[in-house]
Amino acid sequence: MEIRKFRPEIPTPTKIDNPTEGVITPSTLDSETVSILTDRIKDEYTAHYYYRSAANWCRNKNYKKVASFFEVEASSELDHAKGLQEYMDDFNVMPQIPVTETEHDFENLVEIINGAYQMEQGLMKAYNQSSSQLFTSDLTTFDFLKEYREIQKQAVIEYSDLLNALVLVDYNDKFQVLYFEQTYF
């Protein structure tokens, strides 16, 4: 039995007789990839506005440490959105920024942390699903999203730890919530 090695066919560059004519148009991402990345851009902006609102609420309620934490989170989400847009731009696609929810009202810190956990877990699932879809059709983008999957995994772990710490205090007692803030942020 003969074992054959797979060797992909690499196109041979064609000679252009007149260099001022026939410029090759660079390839772009296919429409499925663009759609998936656009959805993730929306998710990152949604997370940004959630954390920005959380930081504002916390600062207003004098939870200074948590406010600083959520300011960093908000900035981080913008960096994620920027990275996705730059990737699309690198492949000759003009990224679109979808409209998303920008206003959030909160009653307490527990509500914010619960919401953050749910959001980060949803983002992790969305990046996993996106990667799964792209695995067979766009391996380059699948590889690019590896960093985002890891970021989301770490975020879910971080917020899970905060939720586990919250059950150790009576979150209806303002002094215990203040202790929680001072201890975990």
Tokens for 9?
A: 């066919």
Map out the domains of the chain as residue ranges.
Answer: 31-184
Contact of 39 with 95, CB cutoff 8 Å: no
Q: Which residues contact 61 (CB under 8 A, 6 or more apart)?
A: 109
Stated pTM of the model: 0.86
pLDDT in tens, 153-167: 999 999 999 999 999
For residue 182, the Cα-to-chain-centroid distance in whole angstroms is 28
Contact of 162 with 184, CB cutoff 8 Å: yes
- Asked whether the predicted pLDDT for residue 18 surpasses 70, the reply is no
Phi, psi of 74 (to 5 degrees): -60, -45
Contact of 93 with 138, CB cutoff 8 Å: no
Q: Which CATH architecture has domain 31-184?
A: Up-down Bundle (1.20)
Contact of 170 with 176, CB cutoff 8 Å: yes
Between 55-59, 145-149, 167-171, the lowest mean confidence (pLDDT) is in 167-171
pLDDT tier for residue 22 given thresholds of 50, 70 and 90: confident
SS3 content of the chain, % helix, strand, coil (to 5): 65, 0, 35
* One-letter amino acid for residue 115 of the chain: G
Average pLDDT over residues 31-36: 96
Measured CA to CA in angstroms, residue 41 lies from 81, 105, 148, 172, 179 at distances of 5, 23, 12, 36, 36
pLDDT in tens, 45-90: 999 999 999 999 999 999 999 999 999 999 999 999 999 999 999 9
* One-letter amino acid for residue 110 of the chain: V
Average pLDDT of every residue of the chain: 92
